[in-house]
Amino acid sequence: MTIGAPHDVSTLHVGGANPYDVVVGRDLSSMVPGVLGDSVQRVALLYAGELGALAQPVADALSEHYDVLALGLPDGEQAKTASVANDCWEALGAAGFTRSDAVVTLGGGATTDLGGFVAASWLRGVRVVHVPTTVLAMVDAAVGGKTGINTGAGKNLVGAFHEPAGVLCDLALLETLPRDELVAGLGEVVKCGFIADPEILAIVESTEPEALTPRSPELRELVERAIRVKIDVVVDDLKETGGQDGHPGREVLNYGHTMAHAIERATDYRVRHGEAVAIGCVFVAELTRLAQGLEDALVERHASAFSRVGLPVGFAGATFDELREAMAVDKKTRGSQLRFLVLEELAVPRVLAGPSEEHLKAAYEAMVARA
C-alpha cells in the first residue's frame, strides 16, 4: 500500500532491531494506512474520549482499507488502569482480532501508554501506530517503545517494551490543545536540553514564550530536537540496561522523574506530568548542588528555563515523608537505595545513588521555598 505523504514533513528514523520512522508535519491522517500496510485486516482505534472530533479523520482514513473498531478511553491517567486495559482486551477478543491485526492510538501520553500496552499484550504483541495529540506525547510517550499502566503503588509500574510500527506527529492537532497543556509538554522538551541538547535551551531562552505556538517554526524545531534526543538514547539502550563510558543510557530520560512521579502520585495526578517533570528537574539540580557541588549557575538555569515557558519550579503540596515514601517505589530504586539521574555538567548525565537524607530534606525545603 503506497500513500503519498503531505508536503513539508520531517522523517526521523529510529534504527535498531525493529526500525520505524517518526514523521513530523501537518495533516498526516492519510499516512496511517501506509504505515500499517496491507497485511492488516482489523484496526482498533484507541482514542482519548474527549477527542472524538479529532479521531474522526483518522477513523475515516482507516475505514477505506480496514475494519475499524473505535474504542474511546477515559481521559488522562484514568485510562492507565488494569480495568481499562481489560475492557480493551475483551473488545478485541469479541471483534476477533488476530496477531496480524493492529492498534492505532490517538491522544496524549496516557492514551499512548495504555494503547501501546494493549498492543504489546494482546496475543503477545500486535502492530501499533501512534498518532500523538500533545507535545508531551510527541516528544516522550509515543517514541521509544515503553508502554505501561499505573497501580495503586505508583506510576508505570506495569508495562512492556513494544516498539511502534510508526509515529505520526501531526502538529495541526496541537491547535486544539489548551495553552496550559501545550506548556506542560514543554517540560519534557526543556529536560532534553539539559541532558543532551543545549541548543534547546538556547531556543527557549531566545524566543518569547507566547511565540511558541503550534504553527511556529520554533516549536517545531523544539519538538524535532527533543524527539532526536530520545531516538539517540533508545537506539543505544532500548531496554534500559545501561550506556557506555559512564553514561546512564536510557535511564537519562528519567531526569527529574523520581520526584515528578512522587508529586503526581501525591496529588492523585492533578499536577500534569510535564509540570511535575519541571519541578523534579529543579529539585534534582538542587540535590546535586548539595551532594556533588553542581555549579550554582546551572542550578539557577534550570529554574529560569522552565519558568520562562510558564512551568512551575516549586511544590509545597505534600510533606517530605509523603514524597520520600513515593520515591521509594520508583523504578530506578534498587533495594532501599534511591537512585537519581543527575548532571555532572550541562549535557553530561550521571547516576547519583543513595544521597543522604540530609541532602534530600534540604533539596525538598528548597523546592517548597520556590513554590
Q: Which residues are annotated as a binding site for Zn(2+)?
A: 188, 257, 273
Rounded distance between C-alpha atoms, residue 112 and residue 133, angstroms: 10
Tell which residue, 269, 274, 280, 261, has the closest CA to residue 367.
Answer: 280
Rounded distance between C-alpha atoms, residue 100 and residue 318, angstroms: 47
Whether 228 and 297 have beta carbons less than 8 Å apart is answered as no
What are the binding residues for NAD(+)? 75-80, 109-113, 133-134, 146, 155
What are the binding residues? 75-80, 109-113, 133-134, 146, 155, 188, 257, 273
